[in-house]
Amino acid sequence: MKTHQQPHNVDIPPVGDADIPRRAMVLAAGLGRRMRPITMRTPKPLVKVRGVPVIDWTLDRMAAVGLETCVVNVHHLADEVRAHLARRTSPRIVFSDETARLMDTGGGVKQALPHLGDGAFYVVNGDVLWLDGIQPALTRLAEAWDPARMDMLLLVLRLAGANGYDGRGDFFLDGWGRPRRRKAHEIAPFVHAGVLITTAALFEDTPDDPFSLNLLFNRAMDEGRLYAVPHDGEWYHVGTPSALALAEERLGEPNICSDQ
């Protein structure tokens, strides 16, 4: 299998002049099939890591940087998700109901756009959690966001540090932080961390039926307006029972610090 050496001097895009986003969406409507049998009774966003539901790890990160409103889409065991999040006071939670029809990642965000406003907003996968490095990852993304050059800005991480991920990587980055997808025979050194910034404008002329965010990754990439920032902290994909066990083990180690 062919591999490529990735240069180590990938630059974080320079600070843009946009305001830090105050709205976000967590993609929490998935069925959690790969997490069964746990998700037969527990919705995937409420699966606990070190006693804290995965979605609360994310919402706590959002609250810490001053984010005001988060849209959460719901489908599988939606009432349980609603009841749990009703106890939160920050950020304010707005629900996007997909109980009648799952809209996939891109369609789910498009359905929620009336709650996300015209400015930049975060989108976070519901099955990831992270520990920040020197600076909060959400702040680093916001400071790198430049709408004059970007339609979408991804948080990525090194494949070697992608705990719970079993793929061959997603992207190569050039020296400006612009991603390109790996080809079928390649192993890519960076993985999409499931955290991004974008705006409603990128969703113009998209299907009304369910569609994946990959459609918009490709659209922004083709226009040279997709960028990425490498994560400098811990990261976990909590998508299977074995990945959950790994996160529990690693986050319980003495050298791993969490504010949960």
φ, ψ at 36 (rounded to 5°): -65, 145
Asked if the model's pLDDT at residue 6 lies above 50, the reply is no
In a domain, 216, yes or no: yes
* CA–CA separation, 10 and 177 (whole Å): 6
What was the pLDDT predicted at 120? 96
Instruction: Read off the pLDDT band of 19 (50, 70, 90).
Output: low
In a domain, 5, yes or no: no
CA distances from 201 to 63, 115, 179 (A): 26, 14, 20
* CA–CA separation, 252 and 7 (whole Å): 33
- Structural domain containing residue 83: 23-250
CA distances from 44 to 29, 30, 37, 57, 70 (A): 9, 7, 11, 13, 18
Mean pLDDT of 154-165: 93
In a domain, 2, yes or no: no
Asked if the model's pLDDT at residue 260 lies above 80, the reply is no
Residue labelled with tokens 């050059």: 149
Whether the Cβ atoms of residue 50 and residue 60 lie closer than 8 Å to each other = no
In a domain, 110, yes or no: yes
Total structural domains in the chain?
Answer: 1
In a domain, 112, yes or no: yes
* CA–CA separation, 186 and 82 (whole Å): 42
Render pLDDT for 52-61 as a digit per residue (tens, 0 to 9): 999 999 999 9
In a domain, 8, yes or no: no
CATH number, position 211: 3.90.550.10
In a domain, 257, yes or no: no
Render pLDDT for 73-104 as a digit per residue (tens, 0 to 9): 999 899 999 999 999 999 999 999 999 999 99
pTM for the full model?
Answer: 0.88
In a domain, 260, yes or no: no
